[in-house]
């Protein structure tokens, strides 16, 4: 639907470098990256608010690189909601229809169902300054939807909301995506939001697009160590391949030997990515299992976090495992407990240093 | 025992009804003085005091002979001059709104650059120049043989000793007040609001008309009032190009040099009263205009 073809642009001392990505119709596309990486600039470039220095932007195979924002049929929702403070809620929501030529009364009537849908009909005559954060966010979303955009652009829409309002808003966004079939592009630095909502995603670091693809693929099999760190892979170990037999490699990492699936040749430097929930702990010392990586270790710490617990185990190298609190209770895991740790070779994602 | 009973038992009421403990506390409490705030008030008060003293001085002198004051204040020369001054000032402000508002917006939204710095310095020139120099600049440009004066007089628009000359001199000296105020107003409008308006379908001018301008209205009012005040108070800048028709400052000067201090003082007092009244009314009228709750 929208395609960036080697787009570069400079904004003061910041640069976006040769960004290429494709957002398909109906995608829930996440742009993630650390603060200052250029996510919002990229979003604003999609909206047409910045003109690229080089490269092309295509919408439905038609070049729109210099097309002004008002002609792109995109709607933008900022993190700070950006409601017009001098207009009532109903005038904020009907603003887009009015500037597109609809009469005031007609535009107001048109948006009433939208106000009801987002549960803000009772706020119609209020000014934004008198609304809570969650209410402002819903007004902002209703205003964007009112113009029936082809693409909805969201700039960290959840970051300023309390957890309960966040959950409600995530529900609103899911409905918009699934029931209305809207294409949504969301900027976020939250991995959790990406897990919950994204169908595809791009990772941007320091103005460079470092990974792009299906959300599950980017989150579970990142292309680089930086991406792995950013998407929150709990265990990343740097090592060297010592042997490889038909893609079944042996890697020395952190003073231990691991077996993993990769085409990396012996002598090649790699990073091993192990999700914390792919690590299995046992306390009876039984080392017989199908898992190719089994090692003895000692629990260093147990930190409970909601229904799960994060268990750090020193097995020559410190690894983090995530268990249910019930498992921690059943296994009587405390600091100092001797455990056996198992990881399947296929559960280890190998990033080659050369990639 | 509830609190009420307890209070009654420990703080017996004296004859005037105030509890004994409360009066003792009031007597014994230590009063802390904020010397800094007090110092600021004294220093600021001295400044205000000079203006008050000057006003009191002229008021006392004028009220001593109300008949003379009324005679001067109701003379057609003074009334016409005041109307002319206010009208010329308003015309200058209107021109500033038309030409200065777009300039202020461009300055507010452009990135810092050497060129921008030069333009800003040019705008501020009337602030730093002696008014006679400002008047000379206007005269040289708009006199009958001036770069702009010559072609404009060819089409019948004369500036020397004419109302257009007064307006253009006022415009020149008042422009930084309006432009700087407006620019500050536009700078305070979050760019995000404009971006959102654009993506919702507003073209640049529609966005400016519906978002940027309404949110800067207060700055427009205060800038216009400041510029108008500056314009109607101009003397040196105006007399260089348009000694006639008499604006109020020229009339006071003329009266001072020909009729003496008494006549000029009465005109001045009349102007003070009218200006104070007009500015007070304008401030009152615009008090609620352009205000909005910006807690968003």
Residue B211 is classified by DSSP as I
Higher pLDDT residue, A163 or A77? Answer: A77
- pLDDT tens string B203-220: 999 999 999 999 999 999
Out of B193, B195, B201, the one facing A147 most closely (by C-beta) is B201
pLDDT value of position B9: 45
Q: In Å, how far is A324's CA from the nearest CA of chain B? A: 41
Minimal-distance CA residue of chain B relative to A135: B296
CA gyration radius, chain A: 24
Instruction: Please judge whether B199 and A136 are an interchain contact, meaning their C-beta atoms are less than 8 angstroms apart.
Output: no
On whether the A2-230 domain is CATH 3.30.70.20, my answer is: no
Pairing status of strand A200-205 against strand A28-32: parallel
Provide the whole-model pTM.
0.82
pLDDT value of position B2: 44
- pLDDT tens string B110-128: 988 899 999 999 999 999 9
Residues in chain B: 296
What is the C-alpha to C-alpha distance for residues B266 and B250, in angstroms, rounded to an integer? 14
Q: What's domain A235-352's architecture? A: Beta Barrel (2.40)
Band the pLDDT of B15: cuts 50, 70, 90.
low
Chain B residues lying within 8 Å of A128, measured CB to CB: 293, 296
Q: In what order do the strands lie in the sheet with A256-261?
A: A256-261, A248-253, A235-245, A269-274, A348-352
What is the C-alpha to C-alpha distance for residues A326 and A309, in angstroms, rounded to an integer? 9
- pLDDT tens string B179-189: 999 999 999 99
Kindly state the percentage of chain A with pLDDT values over 70.
98
> Is the pLDDT score of B230 beyond 50?
yes
pLDDT value of position A8: 93
Average pLDDT (B14-33) is 66
Chain B residues lying within 8 Å of A44, measured CB to CB: 195
Instruction: Please judge whether B201 and A78 are an interchain contact, meaning their C-beta atoms are less than 8 angstroms apart.
Output: no
Average pLDDT (A218-234) is 88
Query: Which domains, from first to last, does chain B contain?
Result: 77-258 (1.10.3720.10)
Minimal-distance CA residue of chain A relative to B112: A12
Q: Could you state, in order of their start, the residue ranges of all structural domains in chain A? A: 2-230, 235-352
Average pLDDT (B137-152) is 95
Q: Where are the alpha helices (DSSP H) in chain B?
A: 3-10, 20-28, 35-63, 66-73, 76-109, 114-128, 131-142, 149-154, 163-188, 191-199, 204-207, 213-215, 217-232, 236-241, 248-258, 261-285
Region of residue A198 (phi > 0: left; psi between -120 and 50: alpha; otherwise: beta): beta
Separation of CA A331 from chain center: 34
What is the C-alpha to C-alpha distance for residues A164 and A168, in angstroms, rounded to an integer? 7
Report chain A's mean pLDDT, rounded to a whole number: 90
Instruction: Please judge whether A69 and B195 are an interchain contact, meaning their C-beta atoms are less than 8 angstroms apart.
Output: yes
- The answer to whether A350 and A272 have CB atoms below 8 angstroms apart is yes
- The answer to whether A69 and B198 have CB atoms below 8 angstroms apart is yes
Q: Pick the closest to residue A204 from A353, A5, A36, A10 (CA basis).
A: A36
Mean pLDDT highest for which of A196-210, B91-105, B277-291? B91-105
Pairing status of strand A2-11 against strand A54-59: antiparallel
Terminal C-alpha separation, chain B: 50
Chain B residues lying within 8 Å of A157, measured CB to CB: none
Mean pLDDT highest for which of A32-46, A146-160, B83-97? B83-97
Band the pLDDT of A292: cuts 50, 70, 90.
confident
Out of B195, B197, B296, the one facing A129 most closely (by C-beta) is B296
pLDDT value of position B6: 45
Q: Is A139 exposed, middle or buried (0-12, 13-18, 19+ CB in 10 A)?
A: buried
Interface test with A, best of B191, B193, B199, B218 (most A CBs within 10 A): B199
- Hey, do A2-230 and A235-352 end up sharing a CATH topology, with the first three levels equal? no
């Amino acid at each position: 639907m929208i395609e960036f073809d080697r787009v570069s642009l400079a904004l003061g001392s910041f640069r976006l470098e040769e960004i290429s990505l494709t957002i398909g119709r109906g995608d829930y596309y996440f742009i993630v990256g650390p603060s200052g990486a250029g996510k919002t600039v990229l979003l604003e470039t999609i909206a047409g608010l910045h003109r690229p220095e080089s490269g092309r932007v295509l919408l439905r195979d038609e070049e729109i690189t210099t097309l002004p924002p008002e002609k792109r049929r995109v709607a933008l929702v900022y993190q700070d909601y950006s409601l017009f403070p001098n207009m009532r809620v109903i005038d904020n929501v009907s603003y887009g229809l009015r500037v597109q030529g609809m009469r005031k009364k007609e535009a107001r009537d048109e948006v009433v169902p939208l106000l009801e849908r987002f549960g803000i009909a009772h706020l119609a005559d209020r000014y934004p300054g008198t609304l809570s954060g969650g209410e402002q966010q819903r007004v902002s979303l209703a205003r964007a939807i009112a113009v029936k955009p082809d693409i909805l652009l969201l700039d960290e829409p959840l970051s300023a909301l309390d957890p309960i309002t966040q959950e409600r808003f995530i529900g609103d966004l899911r409905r918009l995506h699934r029931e209305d079939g809207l294409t949504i592009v969301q900027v976020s630095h939250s991995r959790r939001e990406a897990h919950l909502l994204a169908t595809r995603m791009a990772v941007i670091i320091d103005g460079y697009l470092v990974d792009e693809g299906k959300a599950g693929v980017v989150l579970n099999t990142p292309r680089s160590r930086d991406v792995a760190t950013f998407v929150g892979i709990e265990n990343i170990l740097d090592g060297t391949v010592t042997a490889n037999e038909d893609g079944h490699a042996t890697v020395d990492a952190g003073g231990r030997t691991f077996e993993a699936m990769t085409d990396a040749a012996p002598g090649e430097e790699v990073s091993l990515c192990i999700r914390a929930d792919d690590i299995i702990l046992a306390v009876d010392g039984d080392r017989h299992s199908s898992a190719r990586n089994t090692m003895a270790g000692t629990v260093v710490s147990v930190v409970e976090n909601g229904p799960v617990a994060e268990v750090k185990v020193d097995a020559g190298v410190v690894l983090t495992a995530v268990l249910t609190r019930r498992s921690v209770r059943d296994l009587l895991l405390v600091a100092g407990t001797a455990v056996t740790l198992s990881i399947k070779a296929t559960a280890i994602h190998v990033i080659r240093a050369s990639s | 025992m509830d609190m009420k009973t307890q209070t009654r038992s420990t703080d017996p009421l004296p004859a005037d009804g105030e509890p004994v403990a409360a009066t003792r506390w009031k007597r014994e409490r230590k009063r802390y003085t904020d010397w800094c705030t007090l110092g600021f008030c004294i220093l600021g008060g001295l400044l205000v005091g000079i203006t008050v003293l000057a006003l009191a001085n002229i008021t006392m002198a004028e009220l001593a002979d109300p008949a003379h004051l009324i005679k001067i204040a109701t003379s057609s020369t003074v009334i016409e001059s005041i109307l002319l001054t206010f009208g010329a000032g308003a015309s200058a402000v209107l021109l500033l709104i038309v030409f200065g508002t777009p300039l202020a917006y461009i300055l507010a939204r452009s990135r810092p650059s050497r060129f921008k710095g030069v333009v800003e310095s040019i705008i501020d020139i009337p602030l730093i120049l002696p008014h006679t120099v400002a008047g000379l600049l206007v005269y040289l440009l708009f006199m009958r043989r001036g770069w702009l004066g010559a072609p404009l007089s060819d089409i019948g628009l004369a500036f020397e000793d004419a109302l257009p000359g007064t307006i253009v001199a006022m415009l020149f000296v008042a422009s930084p007040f309006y432009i700087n105020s407006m620019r500050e107003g536009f700078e305070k409008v979050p760019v995000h609001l404009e971006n959102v308006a654009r993506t919702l379908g507003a073209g640049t001018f529609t966005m400016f008309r519906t978002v940027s301008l309404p949110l800067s209205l207060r700055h427009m009012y205060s800038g216009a009032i400041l510029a108008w005040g500056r314009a109607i108070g101009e003397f040196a800048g105006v007399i260089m190009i348009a000694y006639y028709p008499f604006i109020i400052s020229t009339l006071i000067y003329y009266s001072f040099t020909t009729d003496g201090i008494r006549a000029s003082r009465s005109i001045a007092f009349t102007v003070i009263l009218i200006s104070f009244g007009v500015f007070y009314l304008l401030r009152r009228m615009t008090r609620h205009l352009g205000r909005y709750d910006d807690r968003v």
